[in-house]
Chain A
Amino acid sequence: MAQVTLRKVIKKYDEVLAVRGVDLDIADKEFIVLVGPSGCGKSTTLRMIAGLEEISGGDIVIGGDVVNDVPPKDRDIAMVFQNYALYPHMNVYENMSFGLKLKKTARDEIDRRVKQAAQILDITELLDRKPKQLSGGQRQRVAMGRAIVRDPKVFLFDEPLSNLDAKLRVQMRTEIKKVHQKVRTTTVYVTHDQVEAMTLADRVVVMNAGLIEQVGAPNDLYHSPATKFVAGFIGSPAMNFIPCQLEQAAGALRLRVNDRFSLPVPASRTARYGTYVGRPNLMLGLRPEHITETRPHVEPDQHDFDMGIEVVEPMGMETLVYFTVNGAEVCGRVNPNANAAAGQTMKLRADLSNMHLIDDTTGKVL
């Protein structure tokens, strides 16, 4: 039983609110990722769960016990740090067994658990090496091993992959996922990288400015973000936001971007958006993959438009094109064979069936 519950958790540093009341229920064995830009309070939240920071208000419950006043070592948690925090003067075995030794665990029990964890992580060969002699990825494994050995109620990860190079990061990501599948422990994972969040999490918690913006399964967040912040934060390249107005034209809704350019809103959305006609500060949110080249074999429709391309970024399997609409820089993803070229006009198509309409005043997705 290792549910973790946060109730109205607040953290104050000298009158500055770093975390402004976070409510979160984490189920047993769940893999939760806290994601958000730096300074959003995600690390502070994690450190409060760990007991490294005192909480200024609210409650934290781990496995049914309120642990507000419990020192870290008695919370039965394990933590993996961004820089791994391996004790440089101890070898891998000693690093992994340090916590158990302090708990006065029997020696053969320690040995058994260390060996087992080493096997899970495939670091049995490294047990008598010092951290200095290990590669980044190996250190990462040892740090995880140190956490696993303690068999805690909760794993806490504080940006564990950000010190690795891009390739290794992808590899270790899978590794972490595998390990979680093997040991099945409640996990709270903090990252600023939304790709990690998407790939690892059972549920993703997006935080901003000390508050939770949205909690949900990765795909839910991607496809139906609740706020402009989440919409912009999840996904890469980020969602395009284009200021626009909604107007009623002949029973249909049209998104007017500027005087000479407007697009029809798909009929499926008419009912949902009808009330927003004429509202100020609206924005069209459209992911880059929904701005594509017109395809020859698909018949032209009214969502096609001509646009002067400013920058072209070939990515191999696709090409990103950039242009400016109504003061907003917009990105589209086109087929590499579409011969996009900077300075030329290109015919593009917007797939508004996947559009989001955003009230820029409240930041809510409508």
Chain B
Amino acid sequence: MADIAAPTATAVAGDRRTGLHRLMQRKSTIAFLMALPLILLIGILVLYPACYAIWLAMLNKSMSKFVGLGNFQFLFKRDTFWDVVFQSCLFAITAVVFKAIIGFVVAHFVHNIPSKGQRKWRGMLLVPWVIPPAMSTLAWLWLFDPAYSAFNWILAHFGIGPVPWLGEAAWARFAVILVNIWAGAPFFMIMYLAALKSVPEQLYEAAAIDGAAWWQRIWYVTLPMMRNIIAITALFSLIVTFANFDIVRVLTNGGPLTATQLFGTWGFKLGIESGDIPLGSCVVLFMVPILAVAAAFILRDISRRGSEV
């Protein structure tokens, strides 16, 4: 746009509507070009593969024949598949609920203490979120080790155990969820803390004067004020938890038997490790409905925010 000179515009009076107009048009062209890398990246490496997965899911194992919904039919007959569906839902819902509760509670505690000490506590509480999950899960794996479990060592002093942390289906599910909560709760904590800080102090004072007990203050003041952020964070986390891979992969690799397989890990086992790409695609595609529902909810909020942009 820099090269349009004033004299030219005056000189070509008959050619009015050119300069600035073209400028504006060129502006949107430049804008489009500036966004092009982003569009290409998303188009080629996100949207295309996402659609390609649907196509792959309809091929036979050696990918030489189109079988329509045959793979899905096959999958529906497998017990393991239904186990995975159940486990993924159990895992995601339980973990998110507890993450949300713990995050909320901890955020409150941090909010309650004098603000000059808050930074320090917040810093310590966020550490699980900062460590790459594959690394921290290794620490858990070692804490849960059947022969050397440091937890069992402590429990043994109280005459409990040894607990087969990763050995029995129920315990293994518990362990996987626990690690997920451990890693994810700080995120909720930090989000809620930010939201808590935006609740005006006067509201609590007013509520206190109205005679509200602490739980009433939380119920009538805090929760309504934070409703949006709670919903968004929970949906967000639901997606991430539902699609979890690293924690399960490192901690139990889906075991014992298939008691902790999720869509992601099972899809990996089938698609990459067993070389059955179409069946693996089928499995991971089952995440789409829940993603879509969560995304629709988030979208509602986003469009609200988008209009401000």
Q: Do A and B bind each other?
A: yes
Asked if B5 and A54 make an inter-chain contact with CB atoms under 8 angstroms apart, the answer reads: no
A85 within 8 A of B: no
Secondary structure of the A contact surface, majority rule: loop
Complex Cα distance, B1 from A65, in Å, reads: 20
Asked if B13 and A66 make an inter-chain contact with CB atoms under 8 angstroms apart, the answer reads: yes
Total interface residues in chain B, CB < 8 Å: 15
Choose, from A68-76, A135-143, A182-190, A292-300, the stretch at the interface.
Answer: A68-76
Closest CB of chain B to A227's CB: distance in Å? 33
Closest CB of chain B to A91's CB: distance in Å? 26
Asked if A74 and B13 make an inter-chain contact with CB atoms under 8 angstroms apart, the answer reads: no
B35 within 8 A of A: no
Closest CB of chain B to A88's CB: distance in Å? 20
A51 within 8 A of B: yes
Task: Select B10's contact among A51, A54, A55, A65, beta carbons within 8 Å.
Answer: A65
B77 within 8 A of A: no
Residues of chain B lying within 8 A (CB to CB) of residue A71:
1, 4, 19-20, 23
Asked if A66 and B21 make an inter-chain contact with CB atoms under 8 angstroms apart, the answer reads: no
Asked if B5 and A68 make an inter-chain contact with CB atoms under 8 angstroms apart, the answer reads: no
Complex Cα distance, B9 from A176, in Å, reads: 33
Asked if A69 and B9 make an inter-chain contact with CB atoms under 8 angstroms apart, the answer reads: yes
B24 within 8 A of A: yes
Asked if A70 and B24 make an inter-chain contact with CB atoms under 8 angstroms apart, the answer reads: no
Closest CB of chain A to B308's CB: distance in Å? 17
On whether A66 and B20 interact (CB within 8 A), knowing A71-B1, A71-B4, the answer reads: no
Q: Which residue of A lies closest to B19 (CB)?
A: A69
Query: What per-residue 1/0 map shows which CB atoms of B1-39 lie under 8 Å from chain A?
Result: 100111001100100111111011000000000000000
Residues of chain B lying within 8 A (CB to CB) of residue A342:
none
Closest CB of chain A to B10's CB: distance in Å? 5
A67 within 8 A of B: yes
Docked complex: A319-363 residues within 8 A CB-CB of B: none
Complex Cα distance, B13 from A67, in Å, reads: 10
Closest CB of chain A to B151's CB: distance in Å? 52
Most buried by B among A65, A66, A71, A75: A71
Asked if A54 and B20 make an inter-chain contact with CB atoms under 8 angstroms apart, the answer reads: yes
Asked if B21 and A70 make an inter-chain contact with CB atoms under 8 angstroms apart, the answer reads: no
Task: Select B9's contact among A54, A55, A67, beta carbons within 8 Å.
Answer: A67
Complex Cα distance, B6 from A75, in Å, reads: 7
Asked if B16 and A54 make an inter-chain contact with CB atoms under 8 angstroms apart, the answer reads: no
Complex Cα distance, B9 from A188, in Å, reads: 23
Residues of chain A lying within 8 A (CB to CB) of residue B10:
65-67, 70
Complex Cα distance, B17 from A66, in Å, reads: 11
Complex Cα distance, B9 from A75, in Å, reads: 11
Asked if B18 and A69 make an inter-chain contact with CB atoms under 8 angstroms apart, the answer reads: yes
Complex Cα distance, B19 from A74, in Å, reads: 12
Closest CB of chain B to A191's CB: distance in Å? 26
Closest CB of chain B to A168's CB: distance in Å? 28
Closest CB of chain A to B163's CB: distance in Å? 57
Residues of chain A lying within 8 A (CB to CB) of residue B9:
65-70
Asked if A68 and B20 make an inter-chain contact with CB atoms under 8 angstroms apart, the answer reads: yes
Q: Which residue of A lies closest to B5 (CB)?
A: A74
On whether A74 and B4 interact (CB within 8 A), knowing A65-B10, A66-B13, the answer reads: yes
Asked if B24 and A54 make an inter-chain contact with CB atoms under 8 angstroms apart, the answer reads: yes
Sample 18 A-B pairs with CB under 8 A, ordered by A number: A54-B21, A65-B6, A66-B9, A67-B6, A67-B9, A67-B10, A68-B9, A68-B16, A68-B17, A68-B19, A68-B20, A69-B18, A69-B19, A70-B4, A70-B19, A70-B20, A71-B19, A71-B23
Given contacts A69-B9, A69-B23, A71-B1, could you give 7 more A-B pairs where the C-beta distance is less than 8 Å? Answer: A67-B6, A67-B9, A68-B9, A68-B17, A69-B18, A71-B19, A75-B6
Interface residue ranges, A against B (CB under 8 Å):
51, 54-55, 65-71, 74-75
